[in-house]
Amino acid sequence: MSERSSRTPRSPRRYPWLRPAAAREANSAPRSSPGRPGPPRGESLPAASDGAPVADERSVVDAAVYRGGRRVGNPDTLAATYRRLREEPGAMAWIGLFRPSEAELLSLAEEFDLHKLAIEDAMEAHQRPKLERYGETLFVVLRAARYLDAPEEVDFGELHVFVGPDFVITVRHGAAPDLSAVRTRMESTPELLALGPEAVLYAILDAVVDGYAPVVAGVQNDIDEIETEVFRGDPEASRRIYELSREMVEFQRATRPLVGMLRGLMAGFDKYGTDEELQRYLRDVADHVTHTSERVDGFRSALTDILAVNATLVSQQQNAEMRALAEAGFEQNEEVKKISAWAAILFAPTLVGTIYGMNFTQMPELHWVLGYPFALLLMAAVCVSLYVIFKRRDWL
C-alpha cells in the first residue's frame, strides 16, 4: 500500500477561497534571488532501488505542522512532514520551498493530490499571476517585486502557492517576498493562524502587496530624477526612460491581475461564510492593490509624456545645432568671398607687372616713353574695376 493510501481521511471543512468563485486572471514573469539554494540545475537526483527519483530536501526552506494556531512539529524532511500531519488530527502543514526539484514537487503532488497542470506550472515557473481551483486545492501564482537601490531597478520574483484543506505549500522562484517574515508574523498571532490555510493565503497576499510600496516609492524617485535629467539635456535620459518603462510594463502585469483575483475572493464572502476578520483583512489588501495598480498606470502615462517631451527637446537641440552650423558655414563663406575678392584684386597688378618684367628684347612697350606710366595706370584701373565689381556684389 502506498504512503498516500494509508493516510487517514480528513474531516471535511469549508474553505470559501477554494471555491470556483475565484475567476482566472492573467499576467507576468520572474527573476532570481538569494535565499536557501536549491539543487543546481542539471544535477541528477539520486534514484531509489525501483529507479524512481528520490526527493532532494535541500530546497525545503521551512516545514512545520500547526494545530490551533501553534507549531506542534518541526519536521526536517517532506516525508517527516507527511507523517506528522497524519499523526495530528485537525492540524495544518505549511511547507516552504525555494526552487524545488522535480522529485520534490512530484512527491508533494502524490501526497496532497495536486493537479499535474499546477505542478507543471510550478516546475517551469515564468507564469502569469492567476488564481485557479483544482478540486479541493487552490493554486495561486503571484509576482512579488523589490526595489534595488544600487542599480536603481526593480527585481521581480515569482511565488506559487498551493492551498488545500489542511496544507499550504509555497514554491518561491525569486528573492521576494520574504516568507520567513510572513511565517513569523502568523506564528506571533496564533488566533489568526488558527483560522487555517485561508489565513496563511491572506498573509502571503498581504506580504506581496506590502512589498510593492517601496517599489512605488523608488520608481517615483526615479521619475523625478529623469525629469530633471531631461530638462538638463542629459544624453542618458532616453535610455533610463526606456528601461524604466519596460519595468513598469512588468510591474503592471504583476499588479493588475491581483485586482480581479481579490474581487473574485471577496465575491464569495457571504456565500461561503468567510470569517469576518479575514474579510476585513482581505478588503484592506484589495484597497492597497487597487491603489498600487493606479499608481503604476500613472507611472506609465508619466513616462510616456516624459519620453515625448524628451524627444521634443532633443529635436529642438538638434535643430539649434544645425542652425548654428549653418550660420557658421555662412560666415565662413563670407570670409572666403572676401579673401577671394582681395586675391583677385591683387592678382591683376601682379599679372601686368609680371608681363612687363619679362627680359625680352623685342617688346614694343619697352622703348615707349609713356610705357611705365601706362603700366601703372593699367594696374590701378584693373584693381579699381575689380574692387567696384566685388563691392556691388557684397563680396567686400
CA–CA gap between residue 80 and residue 102 (Å, rounded): 19
Identify the CA nearest to 247 among candidates 218, 285, 271, 207: 218
Q: Which residues, in sequence order, are CB contacts of 185 under 8 Å at separation 6+? A: 203
Instruction: Return the exposure string of 82-111: e unless at least 16 CB atoms fall within 10 Å of the residue's CB, then b.
Output: bbbbbebeebbbbbbbbbbbebbbbbbbeb
- pTM for the whole structure: 0.67
Q: What is the pLDDT along the chain (396 residues), one digit of tens a residue?
A: 333 333 444 433 333 333 333 333 333 333 333 333 343 333 333 334 344 444 445 688 899 999 999 999 899 889 999 999 999 888 999 999 998 889 999 999 999 999 999 999 888 878 888 888 888 888 999 999 999 988 888 999 899 999 998 999 999 987 778 888 999 999 999 999 998 888 999 899 999 999 999 999 999 999 999 989 888 888 888 888 989 999 999 999 999 998 888 887 777 666 656 677 777 888 888 899 999 999 999 999 999 999 888 888 877 777 888 888 888 888 888 788 888 888 888 887 887 777 777 766 666 766 677 777 877 888 888 888 888 888 888 777
Identify the CA nearest to 356 among candidates 370, 344, 338: 370
CA–CA gap between residue 334 and residue 301 (Å, rounded): 49
